Amino acid sequence: MRKGFTLIELIVVIIIVGILASVGMTQYTKVVEKGRAGEARLILGSLRTAEIAENMENGAYTTLSGLGVSAPAACTSTHYFSYSCSSTTGTCTATRCTGTAGKTPGASASYTKTVSVDGNWGGDAGY
């Protein structure tokens, strides 16, 4: 009797490992993107606090440039999102950078996260 594996057995094992790797990779990608969305939650929380302080001090909301919070208005190589704030409602929005802009040039899924001055979170992503 010969010891070893047949070609069919090796092919079956390679196929099973490939299926497991592809499932694991999609789950890994979701977890990584969920972590990147943490940047948006953190900065949006700071922007919300600044908008509330601005309204208490001056009686009106302001745009992103008037808040004094370090948040990029356009995609940069240091952040995963670009940010904006409405001077009428105080709602701030984070938009995921895609394409060649932003920290991750390969990102293809664009979505937004928003927070109002009342603390209501929204957007078009489940992260």
Q: Mean of the pLDDT values across residues 28-51?
A: 89
Single-letter amino acid, residue 6: T
Least confident of 64-68, 74-78, 116-120, 123-127: 123-127
Domain map of the chain by residue range?
8-123
- Assess whether pLDDT exceeds 80 at residue 72: yes
Q: Exposed (0-12), middle (13-18) or buried (19+): which is 81, by Cβ within 10 Å? A: buried
pTM higher than 0.85: no
- Assess whether pLDDT exceeds 90 at residue 4: no
pLDDT in tens, 48-59: 999 999 999 999
- CB-based contact 56:49 (threshold 8 Å): no
